Amino acid sequence: MRVRRISLADQAYEALEHRIVTLRLVPGTVVTEQELVEDIGIGRTPLREAVLRLAQEHLVTVLPRKGIYISEINLTEQLAVLEVRRELDRLMVRRAARLARPQERAQFARLAQAMRQLQEPDLDAFMQLDRRFDHLVEAACHNRFAVRAVAPLHTLSRRFWYAYHHEGDLEEAIQLHTQLMECIAEEAVEAAEAASEELIRAMERFTHRVIQRTVAP
């Protein structure tokens, strides 16, 4: 079996994305390139490639001679994110349910089992499984254009959830993700589409709840 080697730029991207999602890189703050080099332990060239990619995804803004600005969390824009995700997620899960290879279906089944076995609300474990699920759907749907479009939306959604998870229902999120994973594993195309829609609706309810409680006097 051939093992894909991950480039230094990809490693830097994964490290930075994780820090953005988990708020270690605080929204609305500016960090220097040197600070990131020291934090991640990687060279300037791959770091700059990763930052450029994040800038294209609207997760950071490069400020010449000042540093790197970490984008703020925009509550109302999260609804726009979900509006686009609804269509892209439906396309991708439909294709994944139809086109996934046997080994990929086995991975979906294992992810569903791992999600079900979360003994108690464990945010970090859930976030890790959710990210693995997103990556597996991206691989199984075999549409690189959809993947490029949806990847930053998933990152924004994970950060939004991490920031406001206290307003959400983690048990419901676990159940909905498990249901979707199982549908793809079982090649249930229509059920996968329905499960994807149910998940997006739950995320919209969550977002509206956050907005109402945040802007309430």
Average pLDDT over residues 4-22: 89
pLDDT, tens only, 52-71 = 999 998 899 999 989 999 99
* Choice between 90 and 118, residue whose per-residue pLDDT is larger: 90
End-to-end CA distance of the chain: 59
Q: What is the pTM (predicted TM-score) of this model?
A: 0.88
- Establish how many alpha carbons lie within 13 A of residue 112's alpha carbon, considering only the half-sphere containing its beta carbon: 17
In the chain, residues under CATH classification 1.10.10.10 are 8-70
pLDDT, tens only, 167-198 = 888 889 999 999 999 999 999 999 999 999 99
CATH superfamily of the 75-215 domain: GntR ligand-binding domain-like (1.20.120.530)
Cα separation, 90 vs 85, in Å, equals 8
Residue type, 70: I
Task: State yes or no: pLDDT of 1 exceeds 60.
Answer: no
Average pLDDT over residues 137-160: 95
For residue 119, what pLDDT is reported? Answer: 66
State the CATH class of domain 8-70.
Answer: mainly alpha
